[in-house]
Amino acid sequence: MTQTLPAFIAAHRRLLVITGAGISTGSGIPDYRDRDGAWKRPPPMTFQAFTGSEAGRRRYWARSLVGWPRFGMARPNAAHHLLATLQQRGRVQALVTQNVDGLHQAAGSTGVIDLHGRLDAIVCLGCGTRSARTDFQQALVAANPSWVDRPAGLAPDGDADLDEVDFSSFHVPACVRCGGLLKPDVVFFGESVPRQRVAAVQAHLDASDAVLVVGSSLMVWSGFRFLKAAAAAQRPIAILNRGVTRADDLAQLKCEDDIATALARALG
């Protein structure tokens, strides 16, 4: 691995860029894993726990009510803007993010594939109706006014760290159209990424000439699968991430510098 990141980016015209939580920490959104790829906090909500447990849903939405205002105010950092600039220069085949924060779009990137969905949207599991998270926040607050402004630390997926709290009195509004369960329009752990989304990323991988991973440990299969496919297709891989990743042995280049600094250097 003697090639530098500037040389890697300069050598390829159609980069498939895959980003993860590490690119958004500079915007104040924490990540889940440490430099060794281990959990820094309890694993996130699973689809099975959310759909199968009223207590689980109460806990999730209570934490989300408290955490959403800060999450919703997060703004793109320099690394998001630098990747938007790279795309504007015609060097990005596609930008795929495992994040659910919408910060790439806010920075000006277009055609972003949100692999795990977006936290700013709500979907009804009964009738499929989609709505804005900001509207649902108003419904949550109206149903649970005593939960507003509780002090808590922001957690990675827009919820809040609330410890030793009784959630039994928290009320979760149902879908106004059918009375069904409302869920953030994101892929929970234990849930599959929609097939059309996977196919779209694969098509872009086929059209790319290299893969650049930014800020992801790739510990979950949903993103790692594309690195396996890239290696099988002999696409060169560069990884910009502090700490180990699941694809380190597949990469031709690994850089552990600060993300924004490394990208700024690479883009000149």
**Calpha distance 117→133 (Å, rounded):** 13
Instruction: Give 141's contacts (C-beta < 8 A, 6+ positions apart).
Output: 65, 147, 148
Helix (H) or strand (E) holding 15, with range, is: strand 15-19
**Calpha distance 237→42 (Å, rounded):** 30
What is the number of domains present in the chain?
1
pLDDT at 220: 92
- CB distance 166 to 58 below 8 Å: no
Interval 173-205: pLDDT, tens = 999 999 999 999 999 988 999 999 999 999 999
Residue type present at position 88: Q
Joined together, the tokens standing for residue 222 give: 């949903």
Pairing of strands 113-114, 15-19: unpaired
Interval 58-93: pLDDT, tens = 999 999 999 999 999 999 999 999 999 999 999 999
Please indicate whether residue 116 is annotated as part of the active site.
yes
pLDDT at 38: 66
State phi, psi for 184 to the nearest 5 degrees.
Answer: -60, 145
pLDDT at 98: 97
pLDDT value at 36 more than 70: no
Domain that holds residue 81: 5-267
Find the DSSP H helices in the chain: 5-11, 47-52, 54-72, 78-88, 103-106, 133-143, 195-207, 221-232, 259-267
Q: Residue range 16-34: average pLDDT? A: 89
Tell me the β-bridge partners of 212: 17, 238
State phi, psi for 124 to the nearest 5 degrees.
Answer: -90, 125
* Domain containing residue 61: CATH number: 3.40.50.1220
**Calpha distance 262→82 (Å, rounded):** 10
Kindly report the average pLDDT of the chain as a whole number. Answer: 93
Q: Crossing angle, helix 221-232 and helix 195-207, to 10 degrees?
A: 30
pLDDT value at 227 more than 90: yes
Instruction: Give 117's contacts (C-beta < 8 A, 6+ positions apart).
Output: 100, 184, 185, 186, 187
**Calpha distance 185→196 (Å, rounded):** 15
Q: What is the residue whose two structure tokens read 């990137």?
A: 109
Res. 41 pLDDT band, cuts 50 70 90 = low
From the candidates 12, 81, 104, 116, which is the catalytic residue?
A: 116
